[in-house]
Amino acid sequence: MQLVCETFTGRREDMKTNQAIERGVALEPQARARYCLNEFDVTVTEVGFIPHPKL
């Protein structure tokens, strides 16, 4: 819900983090690269938030 509000208002609030979130953020590029290799050399494109067409 927070992401929806930030998208519509254009304002971003600071998010509280913890070690698990920081680790996930740090490892995401490696995880994405491994996914691409395991899925027969696909390309992953980050797009951010995509609202439902009815919103």
CA distance 18 to 30: 20
pLDDT band at residue 30, thresholds of 50, 70 and 90?
very high
- Each domain of the chain, given as residue ranges in start order, spans 1-55
CA distances for 41 relative to 26, 45, 46, 47, angstroms:
22, 13, 16, 19
Listed residue (12, 11, 38) closest to 30, CA to CA? 38
Query: Is the Cβ–Cβ distance between 49 and 4 less than 8 Å?
Result: yes
Flag whether pLDDT at 24 surpasses 70.
yes
Mean pLDDT, residues 17-39 taken together: 90
Position of tokens 């395991």?
38
Q: How far apart are CA 23 and CA 28, in angstroms?
A: 8
pLDDT at 23: 95
Please, which pLDDT band fits residue 19 given cuts at 50, 70 and 90?
Answer: very high
Q: Higher pLDDT residue, 3 or 11?
A: 11
pTM: 0.53
AA letter at 7? T
Q: Give me the pLDDT at residue 6, please.
A: 81
